[in-house]
Structure 1
């Protein structure tokens, strides 16, 4: 099946951030960047002329709030989806974004992994909408699931608890040069071995720790964990 490109408009007034988003879009074989707007006014002009299918929308813009664009008839008419990317952590903004059908809501500072997962899901979402002309309950459910994927499991961070994570991370922050084995972390934190392993791997995935293999005596190399150099 021939897959069309999806046109994306970035609305973001911080130049470096806009460039990073652009880079992420550029790396995706199915996405095409059609423009970068740094104000609401520019965004409205580009929406009209570019007709994008997806907008990465920042909330705090020099001439107003991005959230006002979400309920704008222009976006609704353009049949365009929105991934809201914002430092706005207030529930009002969030629920307004949800009520107006934002595809996703990502808080700044942006996790690149989180944003690229969101873009990937949007591509699948757009494809499925093209494939299914008529929906049944199952297809509707899977579209809603694509829209609201449960991240906690996806990141392998199931059961990651803030205080425990802080405890583990503190160990590495206090002694940034040192390599710890699982057993050493166990004895420093008093956590069980399984729990320790889960948290260490979570930290590796999050880019906080790096694994080094220690080839010691005969037998398996040991996984050693160290703080990623800042």
Structure 2
């Protein structure tokens, strides 16, 4: 179980974050602090693995608290939350070792992705004494892929993308051609290919070449299990 400290001066937002984090498998909110001083006491008195930290806090602000904990060499990770997206603070947060940086207002699914990515990383590093490059790449490239998923190419629609992904997932044991997907979904082959090319680009499908009797290649697609949480 990953023990979490939420540091947020807005009581309502702190409670919402607490309820949300507790719903995610493998996480438990150990305590909540409404200011920097209280957060320091809770870090000293409790077993904390991860701090979800608002930067702008009364008494001791979030960046100062972050620096203090780092100077003490405590094995605690931080996800920073702030209404500011200035590059100076982001740069400092990254240099201090923040595992993520969320800018308010953020959607809860973005926080969920951050937490699940953190859990994957922690589980890998705890359970295995040595890791391969491909396992490291999977962790560090995941956030890149998630950002690409947020920014769809012009002309693509999230609803259609989700429909195609749902169909691929339901048939995840099969290699499917764009023609087969087109027939089953009642959409044109041209449209299907555009979405499949995009899914291949962001690493959400496996793409294999199949050569016909005349040597003309065609592509087959399969849902990539490694892209699931």
Scaled to the shorter chain, the TM-score interval is: 0.5 to 0.7
Instruction: Tell me, yes or no, if the aligned pair for 1:47 and 1:78 is still in contact at 8 Å.
Output: no
Question: What is the CA distance between 1:63 and its match in structure 2?
Answer: 1.2
Q: Where does residue 148 of structure 2 map in the other structure?
A: 153
Question: What is the CA distance between 1:78 and its match in structure 2?
Answer: 2.4
Q: Where does residue 174 of structure 2 map in the other structure?
A: none
2:60 to 64, 70, 75: 64
2:121 to 118, 121, 125: 125
Following the alignment from structure 1 to structure 2, what is the Cα–Cα distance between the partners of residues 116 and 63? 29
Instruction: Identify if the C-alpha distance between structure 1 residues 20 and 75 changes in structure 2 by more than 3 Å, giving closer, same or farther.
Output: farther
Instruction: Tell me, yes or no, if the aligned pair for 2:152 and 2:158 is still in contact at 8 Å.
Output: no
Alignment of 1:104-183 (within 5 A): 104-146=100-142, 148-155=143-150, 157-159=151-153
Q: Where does residue 92 of structure 1 map in the other structure?
A: 88
Following the alignment from structure 1 to structure 2, what is the Cα–Cα distance between the partners of residues 73 and 89? 22
Q: Where does residue 40 of structure 1 map in the other structure?
A: 36
**Alignment size in residue pairs:** 166
Instruction: Tell me, yes or no, if the aligned pair for 1:87 and 1:107 is still in contact at 8 Å.
Output: yes
Question: What is the CA distance between 1:132 and its match in structure 2?
Answer: 1.8
What is the root-mean-square deviation of aligned Cα atoms in Å?
Answer: 2.8
Q: Where does residue 178 of structure 1 map in the other structure?
A: none
1:22 to 18, 25, 31: 18
Instruction: Identify if the C-alpha distance between structure 1 residues 11 and 103 changes in structure 2 by more than 3 Å, giving closer, same or farther.
Output: same
Instruction: Identify if the C-alpha distance between structure 1 residues 71 and 144 changes in structure 2 by more than 3 Å, giving closer, same or farther.
Output: farther
TM-score of the pair, normalised by structure 1:
0.64
Instruction: Tell me, yes or no, if the aligned pair for 1:84 and 1:102 is still in contact at 8 Å.
Output: yes
Question: What is the CA distance between 1:75 and its match in structure 2?
Answer: 7.2
Matched position secondary structure for 1:62? coil
Instruction: Tell me, yes or no, if the aligned pair for 1:69 and 1:75 is still in contact at 8 Å.
Output: no
Following the alignment from structure 1 to structure 2, what is the Cα–Cα distance between the partners of residues 99 and 76? 16
